[in-house]
Amino acid sequence: MNKPLAVGSIAPDFSLPDQEKKVRSLKEFRGSYVVLYFYPKDETPGCTQEACQLRDDFSAFTEQGIVILGVSYDSPASHKAFKENHLLPFTLLSDSDKTVAKKYGAYRWFIPFARRITYVIDPQGVICAVIPNVDVSTHASQILALIEQDKKKN
């Protein structure tokens, strides 16, 4: 397994198709906090719980202008169905060739799914928090607390 990126490092830019096959890049969200969360697979129990928890707390993110981007190896069509099935209000990105997962330490060569890991990227594009061991039941509140801490530092 490759290592996660460190807090304080510049988040590598990338371009990936979203659930509508529209290519999105990290740099288009510069100026906002970005939650970049990697997850193993659409429609699996833990991934569904994680996504639905972010959905349920979505207003707390949008009130602060925080962008949520979910990333897995699933296809845009799979993401579109997952998003529709669970009324997910945020963007899901397809990293089918695993390029971005490799850059961000979410790639596991011996397992066909991305590692569950979350990065919080500040408005300047710097990684301000890494959650390597995500608890899907408290993920949203943990992210919001980390962003609040980062805002107080700056």
Residues labelled catalytic? 47
Q: Which residues lie below 8 Å from residue 63, measured CB to CB, with a gap of 6+? A: none
Separation CA 128–CA 41 (nearest Å): 26
Angle between helices 139-153 and 45-56 (to 10 degrees): 50
Q: Which residues lie below 8 Å from residue 150, measured CB to CB, with a gap of 6+? A: 33, 120, 122, 128, 129
Q: Which residues lie below 8 Å from residue 31, measured CB to CB, with a gap of 6+? A: 123
CB atoms within 10 A of CB 68: 24
